[in-house]
Every structure is written in structure tokens, then in C-alpha cells.
Structure 1
Amino acid sequence: MRSWNEARKNKAHIELIPMIDVMMFLLVFFVLISLNVIPAQGLKTQLPGAASAQQLKPQKKAIVTLGDNDRLQLDGQPIALQDLVDKLKQQQQSEPLTIILNSDKGVAVERLVAVMDNLRQGGFTSVSIATRKL
């Protein structure tokens, strides 16, 4: 009688090298996001400088960004000037809302004043202009 050798069955095991590669890519991605190397959504602006710029206290706020070519965003989402006040009134429930105008250096003052005037006519009195400290 002839006996056949049974093939050894290999035990299942986890490959570590591909798992380490994936974890390293995730780590690099999250580090780049936290350092703002990968830009967030929204318009890129270069804030004007002011020697008297000061840090705002934590409060309920909305950021209105004015970009080149009459682009306007509310908290990173594109919006038309006519819809701005209505959208802000929806955000303002019980406590007052502070509005920060984040305007690019290249935006005409006339455009900035038009947006501020629209906000004031809508009943918003707490409007600030974002600058960078010199």
C-alpha cells in the first residue's frame, strides 16, 4: 500500500507591510490637512494689514468672504448678495450674530461698502473687517 503525503496547510496570516503603507498615507494626509498645506474650500484671499488688529473673542459668528470678480461666499459656500441677509437671518436664532467680512486686498472699496450697507439695512449692526496683524 502506498501512502500519499498530505500537503501542509498554511495558516492564514495578516500581511503587515500593506497595512503599514496605508497607515502612513493616512498619517501624512491628516498632518497635511492640519498644517493647512492642502487648502480648505473657499476663496483664497490676501487680507489687508493693520497695526491695530486685535483677536476676536469667541462668539457666534458668520464669515462673509469677498473675492475677485464679484464672488461672494458665506462660511465657504457661494451665495448671491440678494440672498445674503436672508441666509444670515436664518443662522441668527436667539443670540446675536457677529459678521466678519473677509475681503481680498484687490476687492474695490465700493464693493466692500455695498456688502456692508446691505448687511446694515438687513439689521446686522455687528460687522467687522478681517485683517492680518502687521
Structure 2
Amino acid sequence: MRSWNEPVKNKAHIELIPMIDVMMFLLVFFVLISLNVIPSQGMKTQLPGAASAQQLKPQQHAIVTLGTDNRLELDGQPVTPETLVNRLKAQQENGQKTAIVLNSDKSVPVERLIAVMDSLRQGGFTAISIATRKL
């Protein structure tokens, strides 16, 4: 009796090592973003601390950031002190009040903080809060 050698057929299989590599990269990026290691938009500030700091209630608010070197931002976008009130009024929806959160670096002089608060009040904004970190 004669026999022929038939080629052995390999079964299809999934390579696990490349899939594990991709999953590890996804996990690393998720962890870095969760821990705020990857910087977010806007300028970096060191908030002053307060023992009585409270969490803000969810509402429509705008974040005004005062940084060193006379930098000023509205929701992460650079703005000049002269156009700040006009941009805030343009953001308001149908007369709805906008709460303003002043996010000031602790090295910013108090005089500059008061000047920005004063211009906001003269512009008709009365709900102004100063951001702090909890001690």
C-alpha cells in the first residue's frame, strides 16, 4: 500500500502579544489622563488655600484666570482686560446669570485681582467667586 504525504494544515490563531501591547498603551494613556499628568489647556496657577473652601454647585459659570506676567484668560482663551466684560456678555444666554470664578495664581498682587473684580462688577456681573484649594 502506498501513502502520500499530505501537507499539514495550520489552524488560524490569534496573536496575543500585539493585542496585549495595545491594551497596555491604552491603559497607560488612561492613567496619565486620569491623574492630570498630561497638561490641560490654559495656564498653570497655584491656587491659594482656604480651610473653608467649598465645592461649586453645577450652574453656568465662566472661569477667569489671572496668571503671572499680567496674563488673563477666559475659559482657557487669552483675553485683554478691556474685552473681558464684552466677551462674558456675549456668552450669556437670554439674560441668564453667569457665575464667574476667579482663578488667580497666589503670586498675583491683590490689587490686580481687585481691579478685575471691579471691572466685572461695573459690567453687571455680581456672582463672583474666588477659586481656592482645600487645605
TM-score by length of 2: 0.83
| Map of 1:30 onto structure 2 | 30
In the alignment, structure 1 residue 90 sits paired with structure 2 residue 110? no
| Map of 1:111 onto structure 2 | 112
- Whole-angstrom distance in 2 between the partners of 1:15 and 1:83: 58
Letter matched to residue 21 of structure 1? D
Q: Which piece of structure 1 moves more, 11-20 or 74-83?
A: 11-20
SS in 2 for 1:81: coil
SS in 2 for 1:37: coil
In the alignment, structure 1 residue 122 sits paired with structure 2 residue 123? yes
**1:95-117 superposed Cα distances (whole Å, 9 cap, x missing partner):** 21000000001001111111111
| Map of 2:80 onto structure 1 | 80
The count of aligned residue pairs is 131
SS in 1 for 2:65: strand
**1:44-64 superposed Cα distances (whole Å, 9 cap, x missing partner):** 111112223222211111111
- Whole-angstrom distance in 2 between the partners of 1:109 and 1:76: 21
Unaligned runs of 5+ in 1: none
Shift of 1:20: 2.1
SS in 2 for 1:82: coil
- Whole-angstrom distance in 2 between the partners of 1:97 and 1:15: 55
In the alignment, structure 1 residue 70 sits paired with structure 2 residue 70? yes
Aligned positions of 1:49-68 closer than 5 A = 49-68=49-68
- Whole-angstrom distance in 1 between the partners of 2:30 and 2:77: 23
- Whole-angstrom distance in 2 between the partners of 1:96 and 1:40: 27
**1:71-130 superposed Cα distances (whole Å, 9 cap, x missing partner):** 111111222212211111121113210000000010011111111111111111111111
- Whole-angstrom distance in 2 between the partners of 1:10 and 1:53: 66
Aligned sequence identity (%): 76
- Identify if the C-alpha distance between structure 1 residues 97 and 10 changes in structure 2 by more than 3 Å, giving closer, same or farther: same
Q: Which piece of structure 1 moves more, 49-58 or 29-38?
A: 49-58
SS in 2 for 1:101: strand
Q: Which runs of 4+ in 1 moved over 4 A?
A: 5-14
Unaligned runs of 5+ in 2: none
**1:23-51 superposed Cα distances (whole Å, 9 cap, x missing partner):** 21111101210121222121111111222
